Structures are given as C-alpha cells and as structure tokens.
C-alpha cells in the first residue's frame, strides 16, 4: 500500500514538473517585417582592401530567447530584396514555396537554427542551415531590323545552395537578456561567413539587385500640380534604408537592371550579414512563477 502511494506521489510530482516546464515555453516572437532589415557586407578593412556595403534587405521570421536556459533559444528568419516582401514572404516569415519575384536578378535567404550555445565572451550563438535561392533572367538580344523595340528576357533560372552558418546575438549578451528585453525591442545579430565555407554566397550577393528597404511606406496619389485635376502619379513616402557610402559606383535602380555590379575597390574576403531585428512581442520565455 505504501509503495502504491509512493508511486502515485512520484507520478504527481513528475506531472507537476512537466506542467511547469510546459508553462515555461512560450511561442517564438514574431519579427516586425516592416522594420527589421539586414545589411550585407563584403571584404575586410586592410591596407589594400575595404569592407563594402553591397546591399540591404528586408527580414522577417521568429526568435525565442529562453532566459533560464539560453541554449534552448532559437532563431528563424528569411531575407528578401526590399519591395518584394509581400510577394516572397508568408505571414509567418517563411519564404513562399515556388514563388518567383518579378525581379531580373535577386537572392533570397532563409536561416533556421538547430542549436544554440553561449560563447566564452558571453554572447549567444545560433548555428543552423543558411539556404540561398539565386534567381536570374537574361536579356534576349533583338535584331536591329526586327522592328521590335521592347526588351524580352529568358525564363527564370534558379540556383539553390546551403551551408552551416553561425549567427551571433551581438547585443545584448546572454547574461543581460532579461534586463535588456524589459526596455528594448531591437536585437543586433551578425554572421561572418568565409568564402571557402559557402563558395556560392559571394557571387549570388554580387549578382543580385538590392533595392532600398522602405519602412512605413504609404502610397497615395500625388496632388495635381498647377491646379490641374488630372492624375499625376503615385507618391510613396517612408524611411529608406539604403547602402552606406562606399567605392561602389552608381547603377540603375530599376527592376530591369540585369548587369553585374562593379566595384572600384577589390572585394575579397568574407561575407558579413548584419541583422537589425525588431521584435513585435515578448522575445523571451522564462519559468512560470511558483503557484501559477
């Protein structure tokens, strides 16, 4: 009899522990796709080379920071060209399958962590698979006497690849997560990827069109000028996130851009992806308080 009672007590204790554990796990917080963005950099600063901001991109996805056990944290995000979020991103921040954006040359990326660890410097690191989808279309030459002045292009060609990559939460450090998240919703996450670790990544980034990321964009008809009542176009005010000034020469900012970007300074060395993440809701989970 005592043995049976002891067994019941143990079972009840295990069930209670499992309930507390379940209560400690909150769903991952959604990233604010309207305000989260990435900057893409190539090279390194040395006496003969410079690091160049080669692009910006919109970011969406989810993050979960487990305060009592940071190694149980997770990160999942997608990265797409500015202006193509509604086309390429699903509501949960994942890439829509089998969808091609109306851009001649672009790259979309997706990262999903498989494990997390706290480094010796106290920063939380997420390791997982970073996949890229590089889409290109080529201009079809038109005979000079064809009488057709419109440009035509080949069908899209898609190249996909992936590699194991580690993204590091640079701000804040793991030990300051709880205090930081009570006052802030922005997280800085970065990864520096050597060329030999992901050979196709540099070429995909350089051979892509990276338009500005427009935050809080609101499009409306522009007012008629000089008292005219005819339609005079659309204006879309908002905050533009663009590439930083560099040695990169100007290039056409239109969706039919199909040329390979050129840089006056040599681009050699790793690719750095810097994520500016804005969290919509609580990004962290913690154990339930006793008695709750």
pLDDT, position 256 = 45
Whether 155 shows a pLDDT value over 50: the answer reads: yes
Tell me the domain boundaries of the chain. Answer: 24-285
Share of the chain above pLDDT 90, in %: 45
Whether 290 shows a pLDDT value over 50: the answer reads: no
pLDDT, position 221 = 66
Whether 252 shows a pLDDT value over 50: the answer reads: no
pLDDT, mean of residues 186-209: 94
pLDDT, mean of residues 256-281: 69
pLDDT, position 103 = 86
**pLDDT band at residue 2 under the 50/70/90 scheme:** low
Whether 106 shows a pLDDT value over 60: the answer reads: yes
pLDDT, position 21 = 40
pLDDT, position 241 = 77
Asked if residues 242 and 210 have their Cβ atoms less than 8 Å apart, the reply is no
pLDDT tens digits, 216-232: 666 666 665 455 555 55
Asked if residues 272 and 190 have their Cβ atoms less than 8 Å apart, the reply is yes
Q: Which residues of 37-47 are buried (b: 16+ CB within 10 A; e: fewer)?
A: bbbbbbbeeee
pLDDT, position 112 = 97
Residues whose CB is less than 8 angstroms from the CB of residue 93 and which lie 6 or more positions away in sequence, other chains included:
30, 31, 33, 60, 61, 62, 76, 77, 78
3-state SS of the chain: helix, strand, coil percent to 5? 15, 35, 45
Chain position carrying tokens 């810097």: 274
Phi and psi torsions of 17, nearest 5°: -65, -40
Q: Which residue has the higher pLDDT, 21 or 195?
A: 195
Q: Is beta strand 157-171 parallel, antiparallel or unpaired with respect to 186-193?
A: antiparallel
Chain position carrying tokens 């060609």: 157
pLDDT, mean of residues 109-131: 97
Q: What is the pTM of this model?
A: 0.75
pLDDT, position 267 = 61
Whether 247 shows a pLDDT value over 60: the answer reads: no
**Three-state SS string across 174-241, please?**
HHHHHHHHHHCCEEEEEEEECHHHCCHHHHHHHCCCCCCEEECCCCEECCCCCCCCCCCCEECCCEEE
Task: Give the integer Cα–Cα distance in Å for 207 and 107.
Answer: 8
Asked if residues 178 and 157 have their Cβ atoms less than 8 Å apart, the reply is no
Task: Give the integer Cα–Cα distance in Å for 180 and 277.
Answer: 14
Task: Give the integer Cα–Cα distance in Å for 57 and 217.
Answer: 15
**pLDDT band at residue 72 under the 50/70/90 scheme:** very high
């Amino acid at each position: 009899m005592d043995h049976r009672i002891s067994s019941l007590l143990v079972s009840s204790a295990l069930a209670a522990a499992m309930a507390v554990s379940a209560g400690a796990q909150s769903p991952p917080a959604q990233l604010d796709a309207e305000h989260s963005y990435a900057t893409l950099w190539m090279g390194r600063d040395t006496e003969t080379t410079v690091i160049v901001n080669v692009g910006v991109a919109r970011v969406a996805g989810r993050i979960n920071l487990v305060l009592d056990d940071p190694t149980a944290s997770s990160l999942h995000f997608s990265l797409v060209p500015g202006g193509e979020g509604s086309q390429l991103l699903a509501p949960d921040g994942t890439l829509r399958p089998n969808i091609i954006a109306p851009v001649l040359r672009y790259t979309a990326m997706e990262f999903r962590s498989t494990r997390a660890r706290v480094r010796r410097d106290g920063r939380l690191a997420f390791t997982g698979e970073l996949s890229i989808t590089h889409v290109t279309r080529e201009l079809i030459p038109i005979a000079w006497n064809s009488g057709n002045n419109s440009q035509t292009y080949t069908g899209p060609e898609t190249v996909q690849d992936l590699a194991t990559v580690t993204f590091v939460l640079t701000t804040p450090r793991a030990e300051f997560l709880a205090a930081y998240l009570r006052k802030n919703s922005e997280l800085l996450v970065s990864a520096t990827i050597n060329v030999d670790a992901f050979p196709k990544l540099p070429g995909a980034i350089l051979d892509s069109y990276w338009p500005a990321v427009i935050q809080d964009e609101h499009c409306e008809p522009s007012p008629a000028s000089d008292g005219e009542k005819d339609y005079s176009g659309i204006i879309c005010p908002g905050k533009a996130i663009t590439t930083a000034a560099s040695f990169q020469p100007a290039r056409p900012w239109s969706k039919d851009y199909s040329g390979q970007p050129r840089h006056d300074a040599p681009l050699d060395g790793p690719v750095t992806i810097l994520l500016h993440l804005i969290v919509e809701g609580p990004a962290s989970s913690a154990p339930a308080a006793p008695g709750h």
